[in-house]
Amino acid sequence: MEIAVSIPVNALKEDELLHYAALDPGAAAELARRIAYQGMDPSANAESLREEIRTLESQLEDESNDADELRDNAEDACRWIRRALDTDDRELSVEQLLQKALDCLE
């Protein structure tokens, strides 16, 4: 059994109305009423959404760059650990090699 809870369309915010107008005739009518009587500007709301998208894309790029840096540091740490495990590679002591690996991860 499915229970549907509905909110009166006149209680919806403008961005919610823009979303629901395509799905609900009542929301579409309320949106038209607000545009006609209150001077609501859908293009201003669209610009606000575009700005939010740009901000999110920028944050995504920053997070992606951080993830790439972490991946590179982890790969470097793995190389130092492999060298520490290689008994034939003793340019540096095991402690020094492990410290270099730890430095990559901090």
Angle between helix 94-105 and 42-85 (nearest 10):
180
C-alpha–C-alpha distance, residues 59 and 25, integer Å: 36
**Quick one: pLDDT at residue 59?**
94
C-alpha–C-alpha distance, residues 33 and 12, integer Å: 13
Q: In the predicted model, is pLDDT for residue 88 greater than 80?
A: yes
Between CA 11 and CA 19, with CA 17 as vertex, the angle to 5 degrees is 140
Tens of pLDDT, residue by residue over 2-54, are 434 466 877 788 778 888 888 888 888 888 888 888 766 767 777 878 888 99
